[in-house]
Chain A
Amino acid sequence: MNTEDDHISLRVTVITGLRLALMAVCLGMLALPAVHMVHPIFEQKPLFGVLADTPCPDPTIFDLSTEKFQSGFTKCFEQRYGARPTATRLDNSVAYWAFDEMPPDKKVRVGTNGVLFMDDHVSFYNRHDEPDVVAMAAKVKRAQELLLARGKVFIFMIMPTKTSLWPDDVAKGWRREGSSPARPRAAITDRYVKALEAAGALFVDGRKSVASLPREAVYATTGRHLAAPGACAVFSDALALARPLVHDAEVPTIECNFRMAHGVSVEEEDFDLLRLMNIFTPPPSNAVPVMDPMTERTPRERRADGVVLGTSFGWKIVYEAERTHALRRVTYYYYNSRAIDRDTNKDSKVVPMSKEWQDLVASSTLFFYPAPEEYLLVDGEVFVDAVIGVYSAGGAAPGAVTP
């Protein structure tokens, strides 16, 4: 065999080897996720966020003939797909690192200057409806009067949203500009604040509370909820508002000291939007605020019991109330359906206006309702309606309000 034949033979061998390798890689990419579903063969970091559970159907002749089984099995298979975490992270990473965005059907929006938003933040930025703020403010005032007549103080807290504080960081593609009628941003909040002032309601405009703080102390660029100093500032103003109205307990002044720290664990709440993006990323480098321990000035026993009402945003107020020991006992009335006693961690179902709900109201003095700006007059004020429903009728419970 001469040298030329050797070369040809070598070339054929190399090409064949390359072809086999290519097919092995490709078939591996196709089949291994399915094998992994049956026999796990590789480690993957789980995805953050909620995936609706899809049950896997049992095959029956009827379901097979009507394609019900096929569609159910396909959904079940796709949800349990073996490479789902890796594939999801790959797709999101391409969108993020190559195009500075997230796929449009995802919850997280990438803004400028490294600021991450939630789609609800962006919806608030673009919000153009005209809710009846005067009627709602009147209801808040009415509920506060009814509770005050029973020695209880109800503070309505407008929690500033990220797009309200950093509107310029909303990426241009997600801005609703040039539409008709053009209206200034945060117009709804301004109108609501004016209506609350006109009604004489007890409320904190959180935007003012945080105005003097550096922006990273109000919201971490990678966080969904107010950062601790921001929440603390709003809570501090709420306590100041309640202080003159509480006579049988002490409402302390709190200090919201903090420092900015780098290298904080990504598991911290200030990185929740970053985690929710589900991308391949190095550890975050942005500084996030860390609260310094607060000094307790008076014995805790002399302080008032408090209830924090709300959604996930309310946790920030709960944490500040606990960190500052500003309240004797903290109960978190979560989504108007669960009362969580933070001392005992007892979690009980409490339907608005029910006897348990009335007991909850009766057992506390202070009520804090941190209402996120993006949901103002969207969610409805279940607690406000319940108070009016129960106490304007003289304390009788006419029936349960569905949260």
Chain B
Amino acid sequence: MPFSSLLFLSVFLPAFLLCYWVAPRLLKNTIALAFSIVFYAWGAPRLLPVVLALGVIDYYLGNYIARLREAAKSAAEPSESARLERRTRRVLTMGITVHLSVLAYFKYSNFLVAETNAVLVHLPGAAHFTWKEVALPIGISFLTFEEISYLVDVYRGHARPARSVGRYLLFLMLFPHSIAGPIFRWKDLESQLDVREHSLENVVDGFGRFTLGLAKKVLIADAAALASDPIFGAPAEAIGPGLAWLAAGAYTLQIYFDFSGYSDMAIGLGRMAGFRFKENFNNPYSAASITDFWQRWHISLSTWMRDYLYIPLGGNRGGERRTRINIVIVFALSGFWHGAAWTFLVWGIFHGLLGVAERTPLMKRVRAALPHFVNVAVTMLFVSIGWVFFRAPNMATAWNILSAMCGRQATNVEATFFLRGSLLPNQSIFVLSFALLLLAAPALFGEDRVRSLGVRVRPFALALVPFALALSIAQLVNGGFTPLIYFKF
């Protein structure tokens, strides 16, 4: 049940808000958990028992890890302390292994079996794996990372273990984030489970943020999809440079407005219930380098990767060569986390290599010599090229689009002929131009000025909420439903 579905907007959300607001403070968490379980069960009923079971296991493991840590700290003998430390680490390793195994089974087993079979086909006499495809449950990647971060934070002493299973399950399954992020950390949310501000101001601000996200998704991202989807689905011989650049550019807009719109909706929903979620985007297309881009894009994922993968791998503490290897590993795994396909892996490695290239002295000098807006433009160019791998259904399509972007002409325009009216209707041109202006504004006028302008116009912008809501619902009803991009991860 995506947030941009009529069922969510017309039934689930009003029912939740009504029940949540009328419930006494003591029951609000219970109401939120009950609605979250219903929400998850609607979208992934078969994984619900697994998620609940993992939540219970995490709860006990977290508490066990905390007790072992305390015991290790207070042990009189250093040998006893070391033994307990080893045991704590074993418990942590076991917990992480369980979560990664669940992720591997649900997300990567189909891919691994298919790829193995593809290799076995070429070996004479080799057996062929028969395999019943496993359905990918929504939100599994996000849940896994949240569960791992909980165990690791408790192990590191950065967080206290959950006081009750219900509180931990609420953290894990809270519906604004449970199926497509942002990736929460227990330590950020724990205190809010006890104390949070329920006020009309929060509700109005939250609803405004939710509507902003809905409008970004429905009015802008879906308009961009009109141009990108048909071209990415067209045969290679029909695509020339113009269409290829249009597809890459449109998808660059689509994925940002789709995913940041979703994050806005999640943050807004949380705010309506009194929660303060961390921002997940910070003008990513104003970034002046790839490193800068990843500090602004899907921030909850990039910080997770930094804290739970890059730093444990050694970070930048092992010399320049080791740092570069770590960067490529982290980006490659980040790409593969997005999906079990070569395209995602290549997308991750592409970003990793760009990150490594930026660290070379030569590139540092070049970037320092260039004006800021040129750096922003070059970063945008490489990010857009990367999105081609991300969007393409397979590597062949990605290469076709990229080679067309490099100048390869269409050889058969009759194969798929696009009319401008269907790819770029006047409304889309208007909406996408407006979106481009929004994206370019921080780079053109300065991020601080744009931000302060946003704060000044906010009270007036709230008056536009009903109009944005009406237009979004109208387009949802009339245009049919398009799912959110990040749901498949």
Contact residues of A with B, CB < 8 Å? 16, 19-20, 22-23, 25-27, 29-31, 33-34, 64-67, 70, 73-74, 77-78, 81-84, 87-88, 90-92, 94-95, 98-101, 103-105, 109, 122, 126, 128, 171-176, 179-180
Q: How far is the CB of B391 from chain A (nearest CB, A)?
A: 20
Q: Distance (Å) between the CB of B307 and the closest chain A CB?
A: 34
* Nearest opposing residue in chain B for A123, CB measure: B419
Q: C-beta contact mask, B399-440 vs A, less than 8 Å → 1, else 0?
A: 000000000000001100101111011110010000000000
A30 pairs with B425, CB closer than 8 A: no
A172 to B46 alpha-carbon distance, docked (Å): 51
Given contacts A98-B427, A109-B421, contact A104 B226 (CB under 8 A): yes
Q: Is B50 an interface residue (CB 8 A)?
A: no
Contact with A along B4-31 (1 / 0, CB 8 A): 0111011101100100000000000000
CA distance A25 to B469 in the complex (A): 10
Report the minimal beta-carbon distance from A94 to chain B, rounded to whole angstroms: 7
CB distance from A219 to the nearest CB of B (A): 21
Contact of B207 among A23, A84, A101 (CB under 8 A): A23
Given contacts A91-B477, A126-B419, contact A180 B413 (CB under 8 A): yes
Whether the Cβ atoms of B421 and A34 lie closer than 8 Å is no
Q: Is the CB of A22 within 8 A of B466?
A: yes
Pair B17/A27 contact, Cβ less than 8 Å:
yes
Which residues of chain B from 205 to 242 have a CB within 8 Å of any chain A CB?
207, 211, 226
A169 to chain B, nearest CB (A): 14
Given A23-B203, A175-B419: A29 touches B474 (CB 8 Å cut-off): no
Check A176/B419 contact, CB under 8 A, given A33-B10, A100-B426, A128-B414: yes
Given A23-B203, A83-B473, decide whether A95 and B427 contact each other with a Cβ distance below 8 A: yes
A90 and B226 alpha carbons, distance in the complex (Å): 20
Interface centre among B6, B17, B207 (most CB of A within 10 A): B6
Q: CB-nearest residue of chain B relative to A82?
A: B10
State whether A31 touches B14 (Cβ < 8 A). Answer: yes
Closest CB in chain B relative to A168 CB, distance in Å = 16
Taking CB atoms, residues of chain A closer than 8 Å to B469 are 26, 29-30
B479 at the binding interface (Cβ < 8 Å): yes
A96 to B, closest residue via Cβ: B427
B105 within 8 A of A: no
User: CB within 8 A of B477: which of A26, A29, A87, A94?
Assistant: A87
Contact in complex: A19, B204 (CB < 8 Å): yes
Contact of A65 (CB < 8 Å), options: B6, B46, B478: B46
| The one of A103, A109, A174, A180 that contacts B478, using a Cβ cutoff of 8 Å | A103
CB of B474 within 8 A of CB of A81, answer no
Q: Does B443 contact A (CB under 8 A)?
A: no
Given contacts A67-B45, A70-B43, A87-B473, 16 further A-B contacts (CB under 8 A): A19-B203, A22-B207, A70-B42, A74-B7, A78-B7, A83-B473, A87-B477, A91-B479, A94-B427, A98-B427, A101-B425, A103-B478, A103-B479, A126-B419, A172-B420, A174-B421
Separation of A103 and B218 alpha carbons in the complex (Å): 14
Q: Is B475 in contact with chain A by the CB < 8 A criterion?
A: yes
Find chain B residues with CB under 8 A from A31 CB.
10-11, 14
Contact A88 B43 (CB under 8 A): no
* Interface contact B204-A23, CB-CB below 8 Å: yes
Known: A30-B10, A176-B419. A78 touches B45 (CB 8 A): no
| A-B pairs, 3 with minimum CB distance | A173-B421, A91-B478, A87-B477
Q: How far is the CB of A122 from chain B (nearest CB, A)?
A: 8
Secondary structure call for the A interface: helix
Instruction: Provide the bound-state CA to CA distance between A81 and B476, in Å.
Output: 11
Query: Does B325 touch A at the CB level, under 8 Å?
Result: no
Residues of B within 8 A of A176 (CB): 417, 419
A74 and B5 contact, CB distance less than 8 A: yes
A127–chain B nearest beta-carbon distance, Å: 11
Q: Is the interface of B mostly helix, strand, loop or mixed?
A: helix
What residues of B have a CB within 8 angstroms of the CB of A20 in the complex? Answer: 200
User: Quick one: given A23-B203, A99-B426, A176-B417, are A34 and B474 in contact (CB under 8 Å)?
Assistant: no
CB pair A103–B425 under 8 Å, yes or no, is yes
Chain B residues lying within 8 Å of A172, measured Cβ to Cβ, are 420
Residue B462 lies at the interface, judged by CB distance under 8 Å to chain A: yes
Give the complex CA separation of A81 and B477 in angstroms.
8
Shortest CB-to-CB span from A258 to chain B, Å, is 34
Contacts of B424-461 to chain A: CB distance below 8 A: 424-427, 430
B residues near A (Cβ < 8 Å) are 1, 5-7, 9-11, 13-14, 17, 42-46, 200-201, 203-204, 207, 211, 226, 413-414, 417, 419-422, 424-427, 430, 462-463, 465-466, 469-471, 473-481
What residues of A have a CB within 8 angstroms of the CB of B45 in the complex? 64-67, 70
A179's contact among B5, B42, B413, B475, by CB below 8 Å, is which?
Answer: B413
A29→B417 CA distance, assembly (Å): 40
Q: In the assembly, what is the distance between CA of A100 and CA of B463, in Å?
A: 27
In the bound assembly, the distance between CA atoms of A99 and B469 in angstroms comes to: 20
Q: Are B422 and A30 in contact (CB under 8 A)?
A: no
Q: Chain B nearest CB: distance from A313 CB in Å? A: 24
* In the complex, chain B residues whose CB is within 8 Å of the CB of A67: 43-45
Asked if residues B421 and A171 are in contact (CB atoms below 8 Å), the reply is: yes
Instruction: Say whether B474 contacts A94, CB under 8 Å.
Output: yes
Among A27, A78, A88, A91: residue with most chain B CB under 10 A: A91
**In the bound complex, what is the Cα–Cα distance between A159 and B98 (angstroms)?**
70
| Nearest-Cβ distance from residue B117 to partner chain A, whole angstroms | 26
Distance in angstroms from B438 CB to nearest chain A CB is 19
A211 nearest CB across to chain B (Å) = 29
* Contact assessment for A104 and B478 in the assembled complex, using a CB-CB cutoff below 8 Å: no
Are A22 and B478 neighbours in the complex by a CB distance under 8 Å? Answer: no
Which residues of chain B are within 8 angstroms of A109 by Cβ–Cβ distance? 421
A-B contact pairs, 28 of them (CB 8 A): A23-B200, A26-B211, A29-B473, A30-B9, A30-B10, A30-B469, A30-B473, A34-B11, A34-B14, A77-B6, A77-B7, A78-B5, A78-B6, A78-B7, A81-B10, A82-B10, A90-B470, A91-B475, A91-B477, A98-B427, A101-B427, A104-B421, A104-B425, A105-B480, A128-B414, A171-B421, A173-B425, A179-B417
State A222–B479 Cα separation when bound (angstroms): 23
Which residues of B sit under 8 angstroms from A33, Cβ to Cβ? 6, 10
**What residue of chain A has the Cβ atom nearest to residue B479's Cβ?**
A103
Task: Contact check, B9 vs A84: say whether CB atoms are below 8 A apart.
Answer: no
A73 contact set on B, CB distance < 8 A:
7
Q: How far is the CA of A104 from the CA of B42 in the complex (A)?
A: 32
Hey, which chain A residues are within 8 Å of B481, CB to CB? 78
Q: Is the CB of A105 within 8 A of B427?
A: no
A109 — nearest CB in chain B belongs to which residue?
Answer: B421
How close is B377's CB to chain A, nearest CB, in angstroms?
29
Provide the residues of chain A in CB contact with B471, threshold 8 Å: 90-91, 94
Q: How far is the CA of A332 from the CA of B99 in the complex (A)?
A: 69
Query: Cβ of A30: which chain B residues have Cβ within 8 Å of it?
Result: 9-10, 13-14, 469, 473
B462 nearest CB across to chain A (Å) = 7
| CB of A262, distance to nearest CB on chain B (Å) | 30
Shortest distance from the beta carbon of B38 to any chain A beta carbon, whole Å: 11
Complex: chain A residue closest to B471, CB-CB: A94
Chain B proximity of A96: nearest CB distance (Å): 10
Q: Which residues on the A side are within 8 Å of B474 (C-beta)?
A: 87-88, 90-91, 94
Determine the chain B residues whose CB is within 8 A of the CB of A101 once the complex forms: 421, 425-427
Interface centre among B9, B226, B424 (most CB of A within 10 A): B9
Point out the residues of chain A lying under 8 angstroms from B204, CB to CB.
Answer: 19, 22-23
Residue pair B417, A99 in contact (C-beta under 8 Å): no
In the assembled complex, the Cα of A161 lies from the Cα of B450 at a distance in Å of 53
| Most chain B Cβ neighbours within 10 Å, of A26, A94, A176 | A26
Question: CA–CA, A77 to B10, complex, Å?
Answer: 10
How far apart are the CA atoms of A16 and B204 in the complex, in Å? Answer: 10
Contact of A25 among B44, B424, B466 (CB under 8 A): B466
Check A87 against B478 for contact (C-beta < 8 Å).
yes
Closest CB-CB distance, B11 to chain A, in whole Å? 5
| Min CB–CB distance B203 → chain A (angstroms) | 6
